[in-house]
A = this chain, B = another copy of it.
Amino acid sequence: MIENQAKKQKHREDLRLAILEAAKKLFVQEGYEATSIRKIAKEIGFSPTTIYLYYRDKNDIAYALHQEGFLLLRDRFMALMSVDNPFERLKAIGRNYIDFAFQNPDYYQVMFMMKEPMTFLDMHCVEEEWPEGKRVLDFLLGTVQECQAAGLFTNMHPSLLAFQAWSTVHGLVTLYITHHLSKITETFAIDFNAKELVSQTFEQYISFLDRIK
């Protein structure tokens, strides 16, 4: 009954996917903390312990959501492959990264701000380090290297510049997401709201790069 076994296998994958879909629904509606195993179970109509037949633990689910987020981000970045000018593409990557974080703060959280998916990688996926992160960073690094091939940022280490660009936008969006920024905007004495402050500061960073290139 090989055919039947294949059907069983398919059913297994279906339920695993149904769990993920339920988790995603709760996650985007109410955030990670409010997404409990029991709520996911109720959503799919199974008992809570069934979840553990398809996912090791909650960190496993966190990592699955983490991967889902990276699929969304990859779609955005794929669209930027058509931008030929590498410096223009670098700017576009930054703007899209910020926009992604604004539009999907919960995904951003599980992708770049939570330790749970990382500890899951540590515990159960020894072969590769962090494939999702690596892919995104490679795209960024490649763009920086293309900039250098075009004669820009020539006296810099490409990895250091890529990492700086990443941590710059990461710093901006995390301060926004954690609500630290909205509590401090009037200290800065500009009539920007928090989102505008993020965007304007990124544009200023771009102008830094422009003057340094």
Smallest Cβ distance from A130 to chain B, in angstroms? 4
Distance between A36 CB and nearest chain B CB, rounded to angstroms: 16
Bound-state Cα–Cα, A161 to B168, Å: 12
Q: Are the CB atoms of B157 and A187 closer together than 8 Å? A: no
CA distance A175 to B179 in the complex (A): 18
Interface of A: prevailing SS: helix
- The answer, yes or no, to whether A141 is at the interface (CB within 8 Å) is yes
Provide the bound-state CA to CA distance between A122 and B201, in Å. Answer: 25
A47 at the interface (CB under 8 A from B): no
With contact pairs A164-B201, A168-B171 given, residues A134 and B180 touching in the complex (Cβ less than 8 Å): no
A68 to chain B, nearest CB (A): 17
Chain B residues with CB under 8 Å of A130's CB are 180, 183-184
Query: Closest approach, in angstroms, between the C-beta of A135 and any C-beta of chain B?
Result: 10
Total A residues in contact with B, Cβ cutoff 8 Å: 50
A141 — which chain B residues lie within 8 A by C-beta? 187-188
Is the CB–CB distance between A174 and B113 below 8 Å? Answer: yes
Set of chain B residues within 8 Å of A161, measured between Cβ atoms = 204
Chain B: CB-nearest residue to A189: B159
Ranked nearest first, the 6 interchain pairs of A and B with the lowest CB-CB distance are A171-B171, A167-B171, A159-B188, A130-B183, A170-B171, A118-B179
Q: List 23 A-B contacts (CB under 8 A).
A: A113-B174, A113-B178, A118-B183, A130-B180, A130-B184, A137-B184, A137-B187, A137-B188, A159-B188, A159-B190, A160-B200, A160-B204, A161-B204, A163-B188, A163-B201, A164-B168, A167-B168, A170-B171, A170-B174, A170-B175, A171-B174, A174-B174, A208-B212
Residues of chain A whose beta carbon lies under 8 Å from any beta carbon of chain B:
112-115, 118-119, 121-122, 129-130, 133-134, 137-138, 141, 156-157, 159-164, 166-172, 174-175, 178-180, 183-184, 186-190, 197, 200-201, 204-205, 208, 211-212
